[in-house]
Amino acid sequence: MAATKKAAESTLYHVHPKGFWKKFRDAVVINPEISSGIPLAGVSRWPQPGSRPEKYSAPATKASDPAQNPYWKRDVRRAYPQLSVVTQPDLSSLLIQHSEAQAYFPLTCNHRIPAPSEAKDGENANVPTKTQETLDLTGAIAAITSVHKVYDQSKLPPKVPSPFKKWRAELAPDAPHDPNAYFPMLLYK
């Protein structure tokens, strides 16, 4: 039974030198049967690059229209973060409005706002109105805290979350030393 060749031919799809360079290669290289490594252009890539008759055209997008694509929209180097400013009068008015809304509609009660058709002439007092007066921030905080206490022992202010446990100093056993010697060092866990 004859042995059949199962391995791929390494030189089948590669360029071979001819003439003088073939003789020179056979004399110089250690293994003249090894491939040159240069692929044949007509065999290795089909169809060959650049052989197709049609030409590529980039699809038309919004970015390809120069009238609708100004440079300042594309310039990401200068897209700095924009600051958001809340002034103290704005913050004080927000705090006052928020405290009034809680006073009118507490979260624990299930009060219902009457529809305009149900409301009588004198009952429109439930709807909070915008205050025209503007207080400074310290005055607004003082006005809110004078009406009701913000924090007490049962309702503490929020803590900043931390993934690390806070270290509390605990004395550790003393290091070995002579009991009669002066040893000012204390060890903590």
Count of structural domains, the chain = 2
pLDDT at residue 170, as a whole number: 93
107, 155 contact by CB (below 8 A): no
pLDDT at residue 78, as a whole number: 80
Domain of residue 40, residue span = 13-48
Kindly state whether residue 171 falls inside one of the protein's structural domains.
no
How buried is 141 (Cβ within 10 angstroms: 0-12 exposed, 13-18 middle, 19+ buried)?
A: middle
Kindly state whether residue 187 falls inside one of the protein's structural domains.
no
pLDDT at residue 171, as a whole number: 93
Kindly state whether residue 94 falls inside one of the protein's structural domains.
yes
37, 10 contact by CB (below 8 A): no
CA-based nearest residue to 36, from 68, 57, 12, 53: 12
Structure tokens at 152: 């007490």
pLDDT in tens, 87-144: 998 999 888 888 776 655 555 545 555 566 665 555 555 555 555 566 788 888 888 8
Kindly state whether residue 108 falls inside one of the protein's structural domains.
yes
Can you tell me which residue has the tokens 């100004």?
A: 70
Kindly state whether residue 110 falls inside one of the protein's structural domains.
yes
pLDDT in tens, 131-169: 556 678 888 888 888 887 778 888 888 888 888 888 899
Q: How far apart are CA 24 and CA 10, in angstroms?
A: 20
pLDDT at residue 74, as a whole number: 82
pLDDT at residue 48, as a whole number: 75
